[in-house]
Amino acid sequence: MRLIKASSVTVLLLLLAVACLAQDKTSGAIKGKVRVEQGSPGGVAVILTQNDREVTRAATDKRGDFVIAHIVPGLYTVTFRKPGLAVGSIASLDVKAGKTRALHDLVLGIDDGSIAFLRGSVFAESGRSVPGVRVDLVKVIDENSVQKIDARVTGETGEFVFRLSPEKAKYRLTVKADGAQPVSKDVEVDSAAVYRVALTLKPMPK
């Protein structure tokens, strides 16, 4: 009796596998990986449309990977959207039955119309601008952790600029120069705007 039950379960599983396989052969899928110039690749909306009508959508995971399955064969447009990033689009994407279309080299740049600009200048204690010094930028994760973002060297008038995602975050600027004490300043970013900061170098104590 136990043998009969086991055989019945085996047959049922085989039938289900065949049914799933047949179903997969009638539809297609799209998978890919999205990279971004700055920020996290997670949470990018992947929107599938056909003849200007949205069919379905998905979102990238924290690594930028996504999969859209069970797509009726045909020509589609795939659009990628995330606040602070330029919109990406692939038109006339041919999805075939029983096939998974892999998309490569998907890179979303920063949308200049919706980013945060962190502009600043470095001065000496006398008020004179300081050119040619390095400004390091890190993202403050918590009290004990920071993430290195970028670095700049000040221009002839001591100025520097960073382009950032408009997502809410705390950043820390640090300037180190020969003969001067390191100076740091935290900046809170919460939207697309221009944030200005001045950093003043003080001489090392004798």
Give the three-class secondary structure for 198.
strand
Out of 28-37, 106-115, 175-184, which region has the weakest mean confidence (pLDDT)?
A: 106-115
Contact assessment for residue 82 and residue 43, using Cβ atoms and an 8 Å cutoff: yes
Give tens-digit pLDDT for 123-151: 999 999 999 999 999 999 998 899 999 99
Domain boundaries, the chain: 28-108, 116-201
Q: Which two tokens stand for residue 10?
A: 């085996």
* 3-state SS class at 68: strand
Nearest to 149 by CA among 169, 132, 168, 171: 171
d(CA 45, CA 93): 17
Q: Is 69's pLDDT higher than 60?
A: yes
Structurally, what CATH architecture does the domain formed by 28-108 represent?
Answer: Sandwich (2.60)
Adjacent-strand bridge partners of 135? 152, 175
What is the DSSP annotation of 77-132? Answer: EEEEE-TTB--EEEEEEEE-TT-EEEEEEEEE-B-GGG-EEEEEEEEETTS-B--S
Identify the pLDDT of residue 173.
97
Furthest-apart CA atoms within the chain: distance in Å: 95
**CA pair distance 204, 184, nearest whole angstrom:** 15
The pLDDT of residue 203 is above 60: yes
**Residue 204: C-alpha distances to residues 13, 31, 133, 153, 176 (Å):** 76, 56, 16, 21, 11
pLDDT at position 13: 41
Nearest CA to 56 out of 77, 83, 41, 35 is that of 77
- In the Cβ-directed half-sphere of 122, how many Cα atoms lie within 13 Å? 28
d(CA 45, CA 62): 12
Note the CATH architecture for domain 116-201.
Sandwich (2.60)
The one-letter code for the residue type at 164 is L
Q: What's the CA gap between 95 and 76, in Å, rounded?
A: 7
Confidence of residue 24 (pLDDT cuts 50, 70, 90): low
